Structure 1
Amino acid sequence: MAIYKRKEGEEQPYWPFGPFKLRLPFIHYKFESAECIQAIILSVVTISMIPLLQEHLGLPYDVALAFIIICGIGNMIPAFLGTSFVPGWITPAIPLVVLFLGDFEPGPEAIQALVAMQLLVFLIFFLLGVTKLGSKVVNIVPRSLKAGIVIGAGLAALLGEIQPGGRLMETPISIIIGGLLTAYIMFSLSFKKLRLKNKVANMLSNYGMVPGLIVAIIFGLIVAEYPVPDVEWGFVSPAFGEMWAYLPFSVGLPGLDVFLLAVPTAFIAYIIAYGDIIVGDTLIKRISKTRPDEEIDNDLDRLHLITAIRNLLHALFAPYPGLAGPIWTAATATVIERFSFGRKAMDSIYGGVGTFHISNFLALFLLPLVTFFQPVLPVALSLTLLVTGYLCIQVGMEQIHNSTERGVAGVTAVVLAVHGAAYGLLAGVIMYLLLEKTSNKQSEQEKQENYENPEKKAL
């Protein structure tokens, strides 16, 4: 139950807090049990960042776990401050961040590079949120370049998993079975028809990638691709004391040259994140028509500021390869799906999104859960990246409208996936100016000629 009640058609109650709208569980919204259960299971995705923190930043396991706790704190901020999205990583940018970090030695050098990256992402979100220029800046970027960036991020995610030495080659059975099941449940046209007729299929669809992840873990343990977990009881003890040695206060701030190297990847990360924002905003507008009993104030400038705060928190106290993204699209879509069933199913959208990350955060302290998932963290990360790769390619392909744009986007995507953000952007800009810009000018000339000589058009 919640202390404050919403009248039909009004906005969920809140306390004004500058540009934010403060909402607390049990005071401003109900605690939702379905989101609690899903968030506990999906805590495996949250802690699946640990292998990347160990590999690319050189963190010990207990320090990496402390970074995860800081991430959990950051993930609770958006619901407290008034957004209607479940936040997450900028997942499609992870392969590009990993490519960027590959040029630095794991340890202080890589940590400084990631701090530079995350501070730049903070500045982009903060400045565009304060000035309200976010949508205008993104709209300046040509369609083919945006598509190439998104497709390139998807290709980088897939290549990182399937290339020799990738996780798919090391644990093929669990990843293939889990990946195919996840793809079938989330993207299959036949499954969409099945869920309309079958209650079990409909229930599975509400949990996104959770069923595929559970099946992947089970098969991975059965065929010994992963060791049997050594489950321990109690609560985790993150190494907060040791964590200080891996922060910019100890390793030092990055130099100007590192900031300059990080600019292309930070810029691309923002473009990807803004694409996610548009997807989330579309979902909210669509559900608002179905649920007129709650007015949802999905202020994108507020979302920019909150995302900026989370990236600053990470840069100073837990540099993170996943960065801090505005929306975890799959989790947000699942919450919205249940919200669509009416007020009895979920009183307020803020109850769903608020409950999710509070539960997810608390689950991070449960030692039996963390120790059970510890051996299978790679498969959780792999499925997340494979789903991300599929979605990026799908969304990117939808943005391009003609053969010239497809060519520019394709070249941009391949160069970006293989050689990183800087070379990908450079290749994309050159291809756009050389091919597409010329093509656009020719199109304008043809329009003018057709206007002046209509008989020529008839021929």
Structure 2
Amino acid sequence: MSQPEQPGWRWGPFTFRLPFYHSKLCWPELVQGLLIAAATGLSLVPLMTSFFGLSFEEAVAVSMIHSALIASAIIVFGEPYAPGWITPALPLVLAFVLGGYETPDERFQAMAAISLDFALLLFLLGITGLGKRFILWLPDTLKAGIILGAAIAALKRVFVDDAERFLLQQPISTTIACAVCLIFAFSIPMAKLKEKYRFFALLGALGLLPGFVLAGIIGPMVGEVSYDIQWGILIPPLDDAWAKVSPFAIGWPSMEMFIQGMPLALITYVILFGDLVTGNEVIREGLETRQDEHIDINPTRSHISLAIRNALMGISAPFFPTQGALWTGVHVIIMQRWKQGKQAMDSIHSGLASYYLMGLPILFFLLPLLTGLKPLLGIALSLTLVLTGFACAYIAMAIPKNNTSRGAVVLIGASLAFFEPWVGLLIGILATVVLVGWDRNVDPIPHED
């Protein structure tokens, strides 16, 4: 018989767990979280400084708000997943915002519009229970086309749209980082080595870190990276950032922005639902091994907490889609150690809170770490997008069951990557109906044979 859930303070459908009181500190997760969050959590900074008119310090302040909201999923709302971005939607959002708006104010207003659209959609689908029905109603070909569209848009952003600004500035370092991470994440020969040798398994468990560290070492040798590490404490200028990004300061989005952003909110929801199903399956698999802790899976709570986080992000530091449900790699890593027993990790909530630094934004105050990472953030951004593109491509192409559907998926993906979201979605619906038919599947997530 399973034991009660880890204690906390209940408020509505949520559970607040005070760090160090309800959740214990797990050092392995804390160290990994500090290092890997440093490598990935700040990778939007180059975009914010290049296209959204922020200084480095202001971009760090915005990232700190994003990080605090992400950590709130575990601490304030009691979610049992390792939260992260809805990364596959990022390239589609960037194509829409950067391609459709010229000034930083307009771009942040567009980000706010999509964030608030998404928050409203999540809230409505959550309280009505219509979320799962919506996903079941969508045809497989259209789902696969949406995911492939994210893959094409991600690779286009790296190799075409922003190539001169990021990739071509640091070609050797970026190539090394991407190659190492792709090999450890997806290579079939490497998977066999991981099974055979513990060394490779440990390296693989570090996610993006090995490739990122290698790029940081080789970069200075080939003249692509120059460090200017400064000592001291940085106080992120939250007031200056607020004045440049919040709709309370720069003005609210127009109704046209809200209408144009809704197709992207719908597309992102399709991706998010897949994340929720994945997270639940990982938890259920873990519960087969360890039965001394009850983990509460509650889709309504997840929808509403995501709605609140996205709404708060939309009015304070709009940059969509940084408030998602799952960072899959981290979720799996934490669950793997939780499965080792109570002596390894007393509760899944302790492991999650420790990985997210107990909600304390230590990273954003450490000036040596921030300035040391600054010349590597373009590499981190390219790495994130390339891995997203590869992962989305192989997931998308595994869904269609016949050649006509595969061809339609490529057509839909290209339409979403190259046209405005509503145009791409309209082409996707028409292509699905005319070429394949409404091929719905009662199982919303494909499974490998």
TM value normalised by structure 2: 0.92
57 and 17 in structure 1: CA distance in 2 versus 1, 3 angstrom threshold: same
In the TM superposition, what whole-angstrom CA distance separates every residue of 1:194-219 from its partner, at most 9, and x where no partner exists? 22332221211221111111112222
Is 1:332 the equivalent of 2:327? no
Among candidates 124, 128, 133, match of residue 125 of structure 2: 128
SS in structure 1 at match of 2:437: helix
**Corresponding residue for 1:452?**
none
**Corresponding residue for 1:95?**
91
Separation (CA, whole Å) in 2 of partners of 1:201 and 1:300: 36
Alignment of 1:238-387 (within 5 A): 238-246=236-244, 247-358=246-357, 361-387=361-387
**Corresponding residue for 2:443?**
none
**Corresponding residue for 1:85?**
81
Structure 1 residue ranges, 4+ long, deviating more than 6 angstroms after superposition: none
Q: CA deviation at 1:317?
A: 0.6
**Corresponding residue for 2:213?**
214
Alignment of 1:151-230 (within 5 A): 151-163=148-160, 165-166=162-163, 167-228=166-227, 230=228
Give the structure with higher Rg (CA): 1
In the TM superposition, what whole-angstrom CA distance separates every residue of 1:290-328 from its partner, at most 9, and x where no partner exists? 222222112122111111111111111101143311111
In the TM superposition, what whole-angstrom CA distance separates every residue of 1:142-187 from its partner, at most 9, and x where no partner exists? 1100100011101111121122751333322112111111112122
Q: CA deviation at 1:422?
A: 2.1
- One-letter code of the match for 1:298? I
354 and 53 in structure 1: CA distance in 2 versus 1, 3 angstrom threshold: same
Unaligned runs of 5+ in 2: 441-449
**Corresponding residue for 2:421?**
421
**Corresponding residue for 1:68?**
63
Tell me if the contact between 1:86 and 1:332 (Cα under 8 Å) persists in the aligned partners.
yes
Separation (CA, whole Å) in 2 of partners of 1:25 and 1:438: 48
Separation (CA, whole Å) in 2 of partners of 1:138 and 1:245: 38
When structure 1 is superposed on structure 2, of 71-80 and 19-28 the one drifting more is: 19-28
Separation (CA, whole Å) in 1 of partners of 2:310 and 2:51: 19
Tell me if the contact between 1:10 and 1:295 (Cα under 8 Å) persists in the aligned partners.
yes
Separation (CA, whole Å) in 2 of partners of 1:38 and 1:355: 9
SS in structure 2 at match of 1:298: coil
Q: CA deviation at 1:132?
A: 2.0
- One-letter code of the match for 1:394? Y
- One-letter code of the match for 2:210? P
Alignment of 1:129-148 (within 5 A): 129-148=126-145
Tell me if the contact between 1:162 and 1:168 (Cα under 8 Å) persists in the aligned partners.
yes
- One-letter code of the match for 2:45? I
Separation (CA, whole Å) in 1 of partners of 2:140 and 2:256: 30
Among candidates 45, 49, 59, match of residue 44 of structure 2: 49
RMSD, matched Cα: 1.9
Separation (CA, whole Å) in 1 of partners of 2:310 and 2:160: 31
Separation (CA, whole Å) in 1 of partners of 2:127 and 2:413: 31
Separation (CA, whole Å) in 2 of partners of 1:239 and 1:308: 26
Q: CA deviation at 1:16?
A: 1.7
When structure 1 is superposed on structure 2, of 144-153 and 323-332 the one drifting more is: 323-332
In the TM superposition, what whole-angstrom CA distance separates every residue of 1:13-60 from its partner, at most 9, and x where no partner exists? 222211012212222221111111111112231111111122332222
Tell me if the contact between 1:115 and 1:315 (Cα under 8 Å) persists in the aligned partners.
yes
When structure 1 is superposed on structure 2, of 97-106 and 235-244 the one drifting more is: 235-244
Separation (CA, whole Å) in 1 of partners of 2:187 and 2:134: 35
TM value normalised by structure 1: 0.90
Tell me if the contact between 1:163 and 1:169 (Cα under 8 Å) persists in the aligned partners.
no
Tell me if the contact between 1:158 and 1:386 (Cα under 8 Å) persists in the aligned partners.
yes
438 and 211 in structure 1: CA distance in 2 versus 1, 3 angstrom threshold: closer
**Corresponding residue for 1:433?**
433
Separation (CA, whole Å) in 2 of partners of 1:128 and 1:71: 23
In the TM superposition, what whole-angstrom CA distance separates every residue of 1:391-441 from its partner, at most 9, and x where no partner exists? 11121122222223212211101111222422221111111121222899x
SS in structure 2 at match of 1:296: coil
Is 1:106 the equivalent of 2:103? yes
Percent of aligned positions with the same letter in both sequences? 36
Tell me if the contact between 1:178 and 1:383 (Cα under 8 Å) persists in the aligned partners.
yes
Separation (CA, whole Å) in 1 of partners of 2:9 and 2:272: 28
250 and 171 in structure 1: CA distance in 2 versus 1, 3 angstrom threshold: same
Unaligned runs of 5+ in 1: 1-6, 441-459
- One-letter code of the match for 2:39? V
**Corresponding residue for 1:32?**
26
Separation (CA, whole Å) in 2 of partners of 1:8 and 1:435: 49
